[in-house]
Amino acid sequence: MTITSGSSDLATLAERYAEDGFVLVKGLLSKEEAAFYRQRSHDLLALLHRADDPTWAAAREMTDAPTKLQHLHDAQFYDAAFSRLLVDPRFTDVAAAVMGVENVQLHHTKLFVKPPENGSPFPLHQDYPFFPHKYHRVGAAIFHFDDAPVEKGCVRVIPGSHKEGPREHDPEGSYHLPDVPFDSAIPQPAEAGDVLFFTYLTVHGSGVNVSEEARTTWLIQYRDPADPPTVKTHDFSLGQGMMLRGVDPTGRSGV
């Protein structure tokens, strides 16, 4: 479901998210802001000389040619511009509305640059097995800092897949879903400034960037602070538990 930000209210966004498991909010950032963050993202990766490649092993099986991915966890710890985005009400109000809560807490963030011509794909998966929570009030927002048409390897989702709940995953594997055909996921082409919100139960992935331009995104994973993790995992992210909106009524009991 695609929604143009100015013309929609939060209740409509929440309804669509509940039905489809995702919602693409158009123009949450202006084109100028997106261009600013695109530049900051590329500058940060160059400054920090990050050479490790997080391409999944299963992604290597999706294409014959070798692919590459650049990434940075916790960009807000390296550049204050990203900290500002974390608490921007244009983002946090939607995150709260789609989860149906008042309070929004940071889980982690990931900056991704899919380089031109061979930017790595992501196999279909749920985010759930990486950091399971009791009530499943956990979601992601992917900020697009440049256009992400299909040929740039935009994100794909299976609408309504969240309703089936957690799926069987191979705990020894990379948590992808080899039995779900990649083509069953619907591409969500986006423009610079658009933000894709989805639940951590929504089956999603993305294709190879075969275009001549990089695809630049920032993924913020957030949760309801009253939803405790069921497994102590993925707690290495810097700043996990920071409040992005409202208060933590639990006194951090779930951390």
Q: Which residues contact ligand AKG by CB under 6 A? A: 110, 112, 122, 127, 155, 204, 206, 217, 219
Complex with ligand AKG: residue 36 or 130, whichever CB lies closer:
130
CB-nearest residue to ligand AKG: 206
Complex with ligand AKG: residue 40 or 108, whichever CB lies closer:
108
Complex with ligand AKG: residue 2 or 253, whichever CB lies closer:
2
Kindly report the three-state secondary structure assignment for every residue of the chain: CEEEHHHCCHHHHHHHHHHHCEEEEECCCCHHHHHHHHHHHHHHHHHHCCCCCCCCHHHHCCCCCCCECEEEECHHHCCHHHHHHHCCHHHHHHHHHHHCCCCEEEEEEEEEEECCCCECCEEEECCHHHCCECCCCEEEEEEECCCECHHHCCEEECCCHHHHCCCCCCCCCCCECCCCCHHHCEECCECCCCEEEEECCCCEEECCECCCCCEEEEEEEEECCCCCECCCCCCCCCCCCCEEECCCCCCCCCC
Complex with ligand AKG: residue 103 or 148, whichever CB lies closer:
148
Smallest distance, ligand AKG to C-beta of residue 6, A:
26
Smallest distance, ligand AKG to C-beta of residue 138, A:
12
Complex with ligand AKG: residue 3 or 59, whichever CB lies closer:
59
